[in-house]
Every structure is written in C-alpha cells, then in structure tokens.
C-alpha cells in the first residue's frame, strides 16, 4: 500500500496529538511523564479514587476525560504485568466508572457484565463437558454389561 505525502503528514499529526493527550492525562492523574509502570498507575488511580471528587481537569469534560482514562487503563491491562496487577487495574477501572455513574440499572459496569458472561459461558461449557463424560462412562458400563 502506497502512502502519499499528505496522508503521511496526517498520520504523524494524529499520532503526535494522541501522544500529547496521553502525556497530559498522565500529568492530570499524577503519573510521571513518559513511560510509567503498572504499579505507579495503580497508585495514581487509588489516590484519585480515594479523593471525594475527581481532578477538575478530568471532571470538567467528564465524558472525554473519563473515556481517555478508561482507555489508558484498558491498554495497560492488555500489556505485560502480573495477573494480580491486571486484576487490580480492572477493579480500579470498574470503581472509576461507578464513581462517574457509567453503570447499568444493577450498578454494574460494561466490563463487569462482560466478565460475568465469560464466566457463565465457561461454566456452561464445563457442565457440558461433565455431562458428556458421564454419558460416555454410562455407555461404557452398558457395553460391559451387555457385551
């Protein structure tokens, strides 16, 4: 695929803009500029959520500010880290969304609903496997008796 000069300029501008927005967001929640660890993100989120109100820069434009922060946390969850760190970030992301009211009528975030569905699907699949195994065992027992 060929990219012309104007398309390349546009892509570079968009990437620079995204990087600057992310750095600005990092500063708003108390993270050091540039690269940061999962531990420092966890600490910053815990401090932010412990405060009675969200930082003004995030609360002023709540929808985009929270969405940017949500995306940052989600991206970190996808990166390398211990399962404990990832679980902690998931819980903090859920707490953030609950604090700003982005929940369903039952008080669950979209991430919590998704996790519940996955757990439910796994449980259903496990039950099917158990039933199939029991059916195979019964068939073997019948074969032994009859054969």
pLDDT in tens, 90-115: 999 999 898 888 888 888 899 998 88
What pLDDT, on the 0 to 100 scale, is given for residue 60?
A: 63
The answer to whether residues 87 and 70 belong to one domain is yes
Residue-range definition of the domain harbouring residue 29: 5-102
Considering its fold, how many domains does the chain have in total? 2
Q: For position 84, what pLDDT does the model report?
A: 93
Phi, psi of 106 (to 5 degrees): -90, 0
Q: Are residues 24 and 85 in the same domain?
A: yes
Band of the pLDDT at 23, cuts 50, 70, 90?
A: low
Measured between alpha carbons, how far is 6 from 77 in angstroms, rounded to an integer?
Answer: 34
> According to the model, what pLDDT value does residue 19 have?
67
Structure tokens at 77: 């969850």
**Pair 140, 74 in one domain:** no
29 pLDDT exceeds 60?
yes
> Same domain for 68 and 129?
no
Question: Each residue of 73-94: b (16+ CB within 10 Å) or e?
Answer: beebbeeebeeebbebbbebbb
CA quadruple 81, 83, 87, 90: dihedral, nearest 10:
40
Kindly report the pTM of this predicted structure.
Answer: 0.63
Q: With bands split at pLDDT 50, 70 and 90, how would you rate the model's confidence at 15?
A: confident
Which DSSP helix (H) or strand (E) runs through 140? helix 110-146
Alpha helices by DSSP H, listed for 51-109, are: 56-60, 62-78, 83-99
Q: Are residues 93 and 53 in the same domain?
A: yes
Q: How does pLDDT run across 114-141, given as a tens digit for each residue?
A: 888 888 777 777 777 778 788 788 888 8
**Residue 59 has what pLDDT?**
65
The residue from 102, 118, 138 where one domain ends is: 102
If asked whether residues 115 and 60 sit together in one domain, one would say no
Q: What is the pLDDT of residue 88?
A: 93
Let me know whether 84 and 126 are in one domain. Answer: no
Mean pLDDT of 71-87: 88
């Amino acid at each position: 695929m060929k990219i012309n000069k104007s398309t390349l300029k546009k892509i570079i501008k968009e990437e620079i803009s995204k990087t600057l927005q992310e750095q600005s967001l990092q500063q708003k929640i108390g993270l050091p500029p540039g690269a940061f660890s999962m531990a420092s993100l966890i600490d910053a989120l815990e401090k932010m959520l412990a405060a009675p109100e969200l930082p003004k820069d995030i609360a002023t434009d709540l929808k985009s500010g929270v969405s940017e922060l949500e995306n940052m946390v989600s991206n970190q969850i996808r990166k390398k880290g211990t399962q404990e760190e990832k679980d902690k970030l998931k819980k903090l992301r859920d707490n953030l969304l609950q604090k700003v009211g982005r929940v369903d009528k039952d008080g669950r975030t979209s991430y919590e609903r998704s996790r519940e569905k996955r757990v439910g699907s796994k449980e259903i699949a496990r039950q099917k496997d158990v039933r199939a195994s029991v059916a195979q065992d019964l068939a073997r027992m019948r074969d032994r008796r009859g054969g």
